[in-house]
Structure formats: structure tokens, C-alpha cells
Structure 1
Amino acid sequence: MKYIRKSHDRGGANFGWLNSKHSFSFGHYYDPKHMGVSVLRVINDDVVQPGRGFDTHGHRDMEIISYVIDGALEHKDSTGNIYTVPAGEVQRMSAGRGVMHSEYNASDKEAVNFLQIWIQPNVFGIEPSYEQKRIEQNGPLTPLVTSNGTDGSLSMNQDANLYRLMLEKQQQITLYVSTHTTNRVGYLHIVSGSLAANGTDFSAGDAFMVTADEVTEIVASSDVEALWFDLPAI
């Protein structure tokens, strides 16, 4: 493993209403050793207090994925979308040539915890678009957002795929990326639980990269929920 990102080493910001842990450089947090992996540029682990949120702000030319862990997120944008994203659902917004949006905790009683994920697109200046869906787990690895919307997943404008990994305690799986057609890298971010990867222990908030044709043997130390990114090597 050439790149390991431990939870306690992440950057972050705490504004009272928002407590955010940054896997990669973001906002006021900057570290040239942690600028992202391939086209994956942001994984922010955000906890937003009841009734609070991000006021209207703009994005362009970015694939923005929200993965709600606990609670519910209220989304509004300048294309007319108004949605609530509860835990278990996945949201993808393609900012394209520009979109304004806001994100708020949908509850005035409970905090919301979600992962804010940014992936650089492979097309620019397109019409903004939005998708949201509950995707039931089907086996250990289930596609959530893919390059072509395969197997009921959402789609994104990039040669990249995002899967949810779910394992029960002591369950095993082998993770690898193939270079049969093009070089790839993988990145595993643990949402909850703990596991051993090739004998190294990881827990919630930890992450690591898998390089081309590197085989990684995973053994769940407890029930595990994680996100597996299949990315182009750049």
C-alpha cells in the first residue's frame, strides 16, 4: 500500500454548526501530500447540527456525490430541484457549466452525518444534472455511481465507479483493480466498522489506495460499511 490515510490524521474544521473531517486538502486545510487520489478530489465527513446547513453557493465542472450516513439532508438548487436525501440514499449532482445550491439538515432535532465527495469530470461546460436513488445492497460490492449507470446505479461524467462494500464480521473479500484495458487505481474509505487489509488494521474514517494489479485481502474485524472507488490512473 503506497498511500494510507488514517482518520486521526485528516484535516478538518469545526464551526459549531458544522464539524468536518477532510481526507484531502479543502478550504483552509492544505497539505501537498494529500491532494486527492486520481480524479477523486474531496471526501469530507460532515456532521451538521439540527436546522443548520450550507447557504446557497456555486459549483461548476464537478461531479458532487452526497452519501448520507445518519439523518437526512435537504437539497435545493438553481435548476429547480428540491429534495430530501435520507440515510441510505445516494445523490449525484453534475455542476457542469454552473449551478447554485444549498444543503441543510432536514431535521431540527437530530444531526445529519454525510460524506461530501467530489470527482473531477471528463467533460466540461455541460448542462447541470441531478440524480438521487436508494440502492439496495446486492452482495458485498454494490455499484452506487458508475460511468454508465450500470446495474441500476446512478451515473457520472467520468470513467470512474463508486461501490458500497458491506461485510459481516469475519467475512472476507479480495479487492483489486485490473489493467487489462487501461491503468486503474482503487481507493477504499471505511464508513463504519473495522477490517484488516493484507494484515494492516483499519477502522472508521481510515482509507487506503490500491495500485494497478495489486491484490488486497480484506477480512472484516466487525460488520463493515465502506466505499470503494475504481478510478483511472492519472
Structure 2
Amino acid sequence: MITSRTAQACGKADYGWLQARYTFSFGHYFDPNLLGYASLRVLNQEVLAPSAAFQPRTYPKVDILNLILQGEAGYRDSEGNYTQASAGEALLLATQPGVSYSEQNLSKETPLTRIQLWLNACPQRENAAIQSVKMHECQPYTLLASPDGEQGSLQLRQQVWVHHLRLEAGERRTLALRGARAWLQSIHGGYHALTPDGGGETLACGDGAFIRDESQITLEARTSLRALVIDLAE
């Protein structure tokens, strides 16, 4: 079953220094029916103004996956770790209780545009504090993150697989799903999401969709498409 959630239906914020779209409840935006989806707790699409920063804050034990679409960001934690990530990179922070984290747009001229995911982390698992990987710009498919770091992907503390797809208009790709639930997200471009029984939804730029109880999903690009398939086994 596929249930779409349009970009227009998402929560929104405009603070001047930050424009954001919230797929699930976050900050001032609250919907008791949208507190996350399986282990996917947050999916935010945010633009930070030049030189803007999120001040240090603590998090629950989650893996924070930042997909940098434009600009360059700096990340620092209270244990002295620091890293930078630029457009075309995916950065994973394995947050810890009691540790604070900050983020800053390092450019004085260019906005920082990114997608941020929070994934609940298994309490017993510990991974490297910071990991990064390139989102291969010209490849039609990249496994960005997985529980075991397969194919050179980022290693998550949860049974989740994050797939990154790039398709041209008319192209299609089918992915097998390991979990009972998955989330689709258009980064840009429109597509048809199709299930083996012939069901489907048509989604526009920025739209997402809940997937339930499907063994596979096929994405057929209506325009040049960049999208995520987040396979949620937990």
C-alpha cells in the first residue's frame, strides 16, 4: 500500500535565517498522527542563510543523516569532534546522550540546503561518531546507509537501508524491500511509485509517501528525478 504525503501538507517554518519543511512533528509543528514512521523519527528539508548556525543542543540517541544539497556545513560536538561537509556529501552523526552538537553554514554568500533524517538507534549498538560518503552524482543508484556498511555505505545503528536514486524522464528502477515499511522522498522531480499488484501513486517534486507491506517498489521518473527510498525493517 502506498499513501502519499505532499510537500504542501508538511509543516513549515520561516525564521528568516532558516526556512524549513517538516514531514513529521518537529519543533513548533505537531501532529499526533505524525510522530515519525517506524524508526524514521524526523525528515526535515531545511535552508540555512549564509553564516547562520544552530546553537549546541543535545539529542535523543539517534543517527542523524545530513544530505548536503547546496553549500558547506561545519559540525562540532562537545567532545571536540569537528567535521565539514559540502554539496554532494552525506554525513552521519551517531549522537550520544549528554553530548551537544552544533551546525553552521560556513559560507558568507551561499545558503546551506540539506535534508536531515533522524533514525532511532539501537541502545546496544555503537558506531563511529562521524561518518561521511559521497552521493555519486552521476550514478543512477547508490546505497547511502545500511546496518552493516555494505557497498561502502554509512553504517547505521538500526535495521534501515537508505537508497539514493537518480533517474532521467522515462527511466525506472525497482528495489526489493526488506522491511514491512518504507518511506519514499522526492528530492527533486516527479515520479510514479508502483507496486507489484499494479497499485501506485503519482508524486511531485518534494512529495513523500508511506509504503506498507510491499516486497518491492518501482519508481518511474516523470521528469529528471532524484529520490530517496528508506527501507525500514524496524
Normalised to the residue count of structure 2, the TM-score between the two structures is 0.90
Instruction: Quote the offset at 1:134 in angstroms.
Output: 1.6
8 Å CA contact 1:176–1:186 kept in 2: the answer is no
- In the alignment, the residues of structure 2 paired with residue 138 and residue 98 of structure 1 have an alpha-carbon distance, to the nearest angstrom, of 39
- In the alignment, the residues of structure 2 paired with residue 79 and residue 146 of structure 1 have an alpha-carbon distance, to the nearest angstrom, of 26
Is 1:39 aligned to 2:39, yes or no?
A: yes
8 Å CA contact 1:41–1:118 kept in 2: the answer is yes
Instruction: Quote the offset at 1:137 in angstroms.
Output: 5.7
8 Å CA contact 1:97–1:125 kept in 2: the answer is no
- In the alignment, the residues of structure 2 paired with residue 220 and residue 125 of structure 1 have an alpha-carbon distance, to the nearest angstrom, of 37
Instruction: Quote the offset at 1:26 in angstroms.
Output: 0.6
User: 5+ residue gaps in structure 1?
Assistant: none
Q: 1:157 to 1:212 in 2, by over 3 A?
A: same
- 1:31-89 CA distances to partner (integer Å, 9 max, x unpaired)? 12222111001011000000111011112311111111111111111232222210111
Say which is worse superposed, 45-54 or 115-124, in terms of deviation: 115-124
8 Å CA contact 2:188–2:225 kept in 1: the answer is yes
Q: Determine helix, strand or coil for the equivalent of 2:104.
A: strand
8 Å CA contact 1:96–1:125 kept in 2: the answer is no
The aligned residue for residue 168 of structure 1 is 168
Alignment equivalent of 1:194, drawn from 190, 193, 204 = 190
User: 5+ residue gaps in structure 2?
Assistant: 195-199
Q: 1:213 to 1:30 in 2, by over 3 A?
A: same
The aligned residue for residue 224 of structure 1 is 225
Q: 1:6 to 1:18 in 2, by over 3 A?
A: same
The aligned residue for residue 83 of structure 1 is 83
- In the alignment, the residues of structure 2 paired with residue 217 and residue 162 of structure 1 have an alpha-carbon distance, to the nearest angstrom, of 15
Q: 1:193 to 1:118 in 2, by over 3 A?
A: same
Instruction: Quote the offset at 1:197 in angstroms.
Output: 2.0
Q: 1:152 to 1:214 in 2, by over 3 A?
A: closer
Q: 1:188 is matched by which residue type in structure 2? A: L
Q: 1:95 is matched by which residue type in structure 2? A: T
8 Å CA contact 1:61–1:124 kept in 2: the answer is no
- 1:117-153 CA distances to partner (integer Å, 9 max, x unpaired)? 1000112595871112224268533111110100001
Identity fraction in percent: 28
> Aligned-residue CA RMSD in angstroms?
2.0
The aligned residue for residue 210 of structure 1 is 211
Q: 1:134 to 1:175 in 2, by over 3 A?
A: closer
Report how many aligned residue pairs link the two structures: 229
